[in-house]
Amino acid sequence: MSRVNENDSRSVGAYHAGGFKLGVCELVPANDYVLSAKMPPVVIMTPAGAVDVLMPASSAETKGLTFWIYNVGAGGIITLKTSTDAAFATAITVAVSGGWVMVVCTGSPTANLGWRVVASNLP
């Protein structure tokens, strides 16, 4: 019998001929909604108004964790904050009606440096 260790598995030079599929969740966040590190990487949000979304705590365990966050609602802007409801050193917002950001956890022990925007549709 063989055994496979799936912890921290990595793939280098992988080719996905059938496409690369990611898990998706859709939600209507209330203010101070807590985003879990166990959520799928694609998060589609439809807020009823302007809301703050609290990101998972930045640590060695969450370093590299990535989310694509979409704001499909016309109700208000989404502001991403630290797990303790503080602003990031560089503010991270998701515009209304189709705004999106791709954020990655830096693993920094300094909470307001824990998440960075990698890509977005903002100018």
Q: Residue 28: is its pLDDT beyond 60?
A: yes
More confident residue, 24 or 121: 24
Residue labelled with tokens 């990535």: 66
When the pLDDT of each residue in the chain is averaged and rounded to a whole number, the result is 90
Please state the pTM of the whole predicted model.
Answer: 0.85
pLDDT digits (tens, 9 = 90+) for 85-108: 999 999 999 999 999 999 999 999
Quote the CA–CA distance of 82 and 54 in Å, as a whole number: 5
Three-state DSSP class for 82?
A: coil
Query: In the chain, how long is the greatest CA-to-CA distance?
Result: 56
Pick the CATH number of 24-120 from 1.10.3470, 2.60.40, 2.60.120, 3.40.50: 2.60.120
Least confident of 16-20, 49-53, 78-82, 117-121: 16-20
Quote the CA–CA distance of 18 and 32 in Å, as a whole number: 38
Domain boundaries, the chain: 24-120
